[in-house]
Chain A
Amino acid sequence: MNAAGALFSRFGIAFLPAIMVVAALPLIGSFSSWATLSIAGLAMGMMIFMMASGLSLIFGLMDVLNFGHSAFVTFGAFIAASTLAALGGWVGAPSLTLNLMALGAAIGAAALFGLAAGYLFERVIVRPVYRDHLRQILITMGALIVAEQIVLAIWGGSPVAVPRPALLTGSIILGDVAIEIYRLFAFGLGLAAYVALHLMLNRTRIGLLIRAGVENREMVEALGYRVDRLFIAVFMAGSALAAVGGAMWAGYQGLISATLGGEMLVLVFIVVIIGGLGSIQGSLVGALMVGLLGNYVAFLFPKLSLASNMLLMLAILMWRPNGLLPAVKR
């Protein structure tokens, strides 16, 4: 590859979502709908990023693909919905503090659940089947079925309404563009998660070990580090991120049902494949592209919206068979 090409693959891929945003403007025509769609797409992308990044890291570090990952998304969504419903007084109150406390409680409950369930899941379900992809896929799939049934048993089959804190309802009007506050919040939270992950991976000792483990696990173990303990931590953090992503998604949708996780799983997989396994940057770029494209296509050609992500994945797989920014070199 020549120098310009190398430079593009180093930095240019990060601008693919930006290129997509610019390219969409002439196609859509109207500036205000373009702005609304872009913001919706970015917000959606950030929520998908939270769900996908954990899956991607888990795979990168331990070569485990968890088909049950979306169960954490579903549980996170339902737990957040129940917490918000239980704190109905705080949610409805016009007070900023109470609103924030209710929201923090909901997201915190989802995250705590993700941590605890992630620990159990890794211990009980995943641990016995390391290094055996076929059984991994089958067992995590079985766990997904069981988790979905538990959600159905606890919360029932009919959709559950998610109360949204008063603070996050309504929109900001800038010129003739209306921006939903919730979307800004989702974008901000996703961005914060990305920055935190990025700093953690690139600026701390644990991050260094995780990156080294992704690159060459045996070598890190040979140097005396317990990669398996590191992995439990990554697994728990990834599950908690998925649960928070699910909680945010629940608030975004307003009405959730037990199939939510399964529906998101497909998008999450597409993001992980586009981004390249094991890479946080790749997951972010992939998630933003999927979110933006989904919104643009839903506006331009409503019938194609899910197929569009599939086509995006095919195109990228043909261009780069290992995804945009793969961290795993196996």
Chain B
Amino acid sequence: MGANGPSLPDRARNGRLAVYAIAAAIGLILAFAPFLFGDVRSQQVAARICVFIVLVASYDLLIGYTGIVSFAHTMFFGLGAYGAAIALKQWGPGWSAVLVGGGAGIVAAAALAALIGVLSLRVKAIFFAMVTLAAASVMLVLASQLSAITNGEDGLVYVAPKLLTPATILFTGADGKAAKWFGVRMDGKIAAYYFVFLTCLVLFAALYRIIRSPLGAVLEAVRENEIRAEAIGYRVVAYRTAVFVIAAVIAACAGVVWAVWLRYTGPETTLSFAIMIDILLMVVIGGMGTMTGAVIGVTVMSLAQFYLKDLMGAAAEATAAIPVLPQLLNPDRWLFWLGILFILLVYFFPAGVAGTLMKKGTH
């Protein structure tokens, strides 16, 4: 990165700096979230942002860096989550359940990704998008129908490993209870948040390492000119399949973390099509083909999801006299506005926030 410093026009360099500064600021806020925000809801938002940054960045590896459009990303996320959840439910709380169950889910995700990739990545991008959409919807139906294992639509509720439960005391204070550091109780809740944050940090670093590696360069070559990449001697299908498997594995890891944090796994929180749409919106808002874009996109979307609804509720009340408008401003209809925003973004800013700031188009 440093090599192209002075030769770039100043504006582009400033934009690049701004993007990294924003991403770094978000990272710092997430790192100290429990100390900055006391209430439960904010911590929930922060943890969700952590997990989704990994999920969206791994999706960006497909759509932004390699040019593969998949609608099955939630399927892999769900496989990891259900793996950990089923093991925790059956065997009770413990790290072995997380490791074995989550591991099984991750292996299943990798195998399924390899199968789908080998079967259908040799055909057109559009074919692949359709195949993955079909596969994901079958998985959603399976999860809600195999209710003996997955408890159907209701999902699974279980207990996290002991270290992460609120009753655990990390550091004992003078009064025998959990010590307070900067006004925050050092109990299992803190441990749970930092479990999420650190695992996600490691996964994100791994993704960053991949795109900076020779493999990342090959992937961009495949995206830019498939035929030329093939002609140089890279086996395009093998690379595509490999990156599809890598993205699936990382999504499944994020799923395990999400399952442990939420202590609940159901179709709505892992497999549903709504989450796939969230991921798509986050990638496009942040900017395809930029890992830092994933950080920005997830943060913007998550904050919007949690706080836009309140705003829309107020707007709906204010416009109650006009015919259709209140229905469209109803907080439940927030996807309507995001959908329009999404279309406009793809038209006018296909590079997203980060890409536009960096003046680095994806096409």
Contacts and interface: CB of A to CB of B under 8 A. Distances in A.
B338 interface: yes
A125 interface: yes
A142 interface: yes
A138 B342 CA distance: 8
- In this complex, the member of A149, A303, A310 whose beta carbon has the largest number of chain B beta carbons within 10 angstroms is A149
Contacts of B120: 317
A315 to B, nearest CB: 11
Nearest to A124: B343
Interface residues of B, number: 44
Nearest to A146: B339
A128 B69 contact: no
B343 A152 contact: no
B363 interface: yes
Given A138-B280, A152-B332, A310-B135, A145 B119 contact: no
A28 interface: no
Contacts of B129: 65, 67, 137
Contact of A142 (B127, B346, B350): B346
A303 B144 CA distance: 11
Contacts of A291: none
B141 A306 contact: yes
B343 A142 contact: yes
A149 B343 contact: no
B342 A142 contact: yes
Contacts of B340: 142, 146
Contacts of B335: 145, 148-149
A129 B346 CA distance: 10
A125 B336 CA distance: 16
Interface string B96-135: 0000000000000000000000011011111101110111
Interface stretch (A12-20, A83-91, A92-100, A265-273): A265-273
Nearest to A153: B327
Interface residues of A, number: 44
A317 B119 contact: yes
B280 A141 contact: yes
B237 to A, nearest CB: 12
A120 to B, nearest CB: 14
B130 A273 contact: yes
A289 to B, nearest CB: 15
Contact of B133 (A134, A149, A269, A330): A269
B333 interface: yes
Contacts of A65: 126, 129-130
B119 A303 contact: no
A133 B131 contact: no
Contacts of A313: 131, 134
Interface string A311-330: 00110011001100000001
Interface string A196-219: 000000000000000000000000
Nearest to B326: A153
A270 B333 contact: no
A305 B175 CA distance: 61
B330 A272 contact: no
B67 interface: yes
A145 B347 contact: no
B339 A149 contact: yes
A168 B161 CA distance: 59
Contacts of B124: 133, 330
Contacts of B1: none
A139 interface: yes
B137 A153 contact: no
Contact of A133 (B126, B273, B277, B346): B126
Interface of A: 59, 65, 67, 125, 128-129, 132-135, 137-139, 141-143, 145-146, 148-150, 152-154, 157, 262, 265-266, 269-270, 272-273, 303, 306-307, 309-310, 313-314, 317-318, 321-322, 330
Given A138-B284, A307-B138, 13 more contacts: A133-B124, A133-B125, A135-B346, A137-B69, A137-B125, A142-B346, A143-B339, A146-B336, A149-B335, A149-B339, A153-B327, A269-B130, A273-B130
The 7 A-B residue pairs with the shortest CB-CB distance in the complex, in nearest-first order: A149-B336, A145-B339, A146-B339, A142-B343, A142-B342, A153-B327, A269-B130
8 contacts: A141-B277, A142-B340, A146-B343, A266-B133, A266-B134, A270-B134, A303-B145, A317-B131
Interface of B: 63, 67, 69, 119-120, 122-127, 129-131, 133-135, 137-138, 141-142, 145-146, 273, 277, 280, 284, 324, 327-328, 330, 332-333, 335-336, 338-340, 342-343, 346-347, 350, 363
